[in-house]
Amino acid sequence: MASFKILLLPGDGIGPEITREARRVIDWLGAKGIATFEVEEDLVGGSAYDAHGEAISEEAMKKAHAADAVLLACVGGPKWDDVPYEKRPEAGLLRLRKDLELFANLRPAICYPALADASSLKRDVIEGLDILIVRELTGGVYFGEPKEIIDLGNGQERGIDTQVYETYEIERIASVAFELARTRQNKVTSMEKRNVMKSGVLWNRVVTATHKAQYADVALEHMLADAGGMQLVRWPKQFDVIVTDNLFGDMLSDVASMLTGSLGMLPSASLGAEDPATGRRKAMYEPVHGSAPDIAGKGIANPIAMIASLGMALRYSFGLGEAADLVDKAIAAVLDKGLRTKDIMQAGRSEVNTAQMGSAIIQALDEIAG
Ligand code: NAD
């Protein structure tokens, strides 16, 4: 039986509550003999700062490097608002992304039929929606140098961030998008701002060349990122895979996420380069949402984004597509039954807490697996 190492990083706020439910699903998969999972756990974010004075320890980084997949819940909270910038909870996340070289962030936006009415858009606009945003994660304006605030000496300061991309960075993210499109509807939309940004001109040129050289069978269209934002809320079903840079991807994926209702529903994956020797990629899976300090400790958080993130790990890191489908079906089945955590509660449905939602998903897994 295949064996996989998972590092669980529950993090802060609601993290430990939702991680507990994902752990139950891992144990269920193990008990069913789908694979053997060797699970380790460690601290990240504010909880790691409290224990070690750093947002992630060297020991935890070692475990992350050794794992087949890292499953991280969420970090942050008001308790750590005043810690030094380089030790803030998010620094743990950024270090994981940087050191594991996780350059491709995958965010699916899928509309579960049972939740179509919870969206701020009309049902016919989003029903059946299934798009995937592929965001470049380790380059662009979040990392480019110079990045500083300069005192101009005249009572003024100047804040500088630098948007910078090199050919290889665009090639590798475009390749991920094209490869994924081949497993879906075979269409990629590349978004940049080539009308006003040099990095956009290069982005457009390199995506076009990568397409021509290796992926001519995939449909490719280019769209300015601002127009893309508009099209995402006008008629999102026109898209299959969207590939874009770090900054635009941050915003566009948040827009896409709200098409489907609640933050508590949205998983994501971050992938690194393929190791030529093993064919495996370093990978981290995490919900899109934050640590929800307003509801932490109350046992009412929605664990679905965390469980769906585990589902993505099954699909993209472990090659267990059927098990991933099973998890997705169990989530859909529970929603069809009318069970809702508070964040997605609708009139006439039954409100459940975090643990009850987890139990219902395990029960649905049992029913579907037979
Ligand atoms: P948030 O995502 O934590 O919360 C936004 C709203 O959504 C809140 O009302 C919250 O209760 C609700 N919510 C989020 N996840 C939910 C879930 N699973 N179930 C039910 N309700 C849920 O965003 P925020 O309030 O802007 O940030 C809170 C903290 O999280 C901050 O410290 C922020 O820096 C951090 N943060 C971390 C990540 C991450 O770990 N990847 C991402 C975003 C924000």
Task: Please say whether the beta carbons of 89 and 45 come within 8 A.
Answer: yes
- Cβ–ligand 1 distance for 75 under 6 Å, the answer yes
**H or E stretch covering 134:** strand 130-136
Specify the pLDDT at position 118: 78
pLDDT, tens digit only, all 370 positions of the chain: 899 999 999 999 999 999 999 999 999 999 999 999 999 999 999 999 999 999 999 999 999 999 999 999 999 999 999 999 999 999 999 899 989 999 999 999 988 888 888 788 999 999 889 999 999 999 999 989 999 999 999 999 999 999 999 999 999 999 999 999 998 999 999 999 999 999 999 999 999 999 999 999 999 999 999 999 999 999 999 999 999 999 999 999 988 887 876 788 989 999 998 888 887 889 999 998 999 999 999 999 999 999 999 999 999 899 999 999 999 999 999 999 999 999 999 899 999 999 999 999 999 999 999 8
- Residue whose CA is at the smallest distance from ligand 1 atom 23: 290
Which atom from ligand 1 is nearest to the alpha carbon of 72? 40
- Residue whose CA is at the smallest distance from ligand 1 atom 44: 290
- Cβ–ligand 1 distance for 96 under 6 Å, the answer no
Specify the pLDDT at position 353: 98
- Cβ–ligand 1 distance for 292 under 6 Å, the answer yes
Of the candidates 231, 232, 211, 229, the residue with the CA atom closest to the CA atom of residue 220: 211
- Residue whose CA is at the smallest distance from ligand 1 atom 17: 264
For residue 108, is it left (φ>0), alpha (ψ between -120 and 50) or beta?
Answer: beta
> Amino acid identity, residue 263?
L
Specify the pLDDT at position 256: 87
Query: What torsion do the CA atoms of 112, 113, 116, 122 make, to the nearest 10 degrees?
Result: 120
- Cβ–ligand 1 distance for 81 under 6 Å, the answer no
- Rounded Cα gap, residues 27 and 21, in angstroms: 10
Catalytic, out of 68, 112, 193, 328: 193
Catalytic (active site) residue 142: yes
The tokens for 104 are 């491709």
pTM: 0.90
Specify the pLDDT at position 261: 67
Specify the pLDDT at position 120: 85
The tokens for 297 are 């400790």
Residue 9 CA, ligand 1 centroid: distance in Å: 16
Residue 291 CA, ligand 1 centroid: distance in Å: 4
Catalytic (active site) residue 62: no
- Cβ–ligand 1 distance for 301 under 6 Å, the answer yes
Catalytic (active site) residue 217: no
Task: Please say whether the beta carbons of 181 and 187 come within 8 A.
Answer: yes
- Residue whose CA is at the smallest distance from ligand 1 atom 40: 74
Catalytic (active site) residue 112: no
The per-residue pLDDT for range 81-116, each reduced to its tens digit, is 999 999 999 999 989 998 999 999 999 998 888 888
Which residues are within 8 A (CB) of 138 and not within 5 positions of it... i.e. 6 or more apart?
97, 98, 101, 102, 103, 169, 246
- Rounded Cα gap, residues 240 and 319, in angstroms: 22
Which atom from ligand 1 is nearest to the alpha carbon of 11? 40
- Rounded Cα gap, residues 108 and 10, in angstroms: 22
**Radius of gyration from C-alpha coordinates of the chain:** 21
3-state secondary structure of 54: coil
Specify the pLDDT at position 119: 83
Instruction: Give 3-state DSSP helix, strand, coil % of the chain, rounded to 5.
Output: 45, 25, 30
Catalytic (active site) residue 117: no
The per-residue pLDDT for range 12-64, each reduced to its tens digit, is 999 999 999 999 999 999 999 999 999 999 999 999 999 999 999 999 999 99
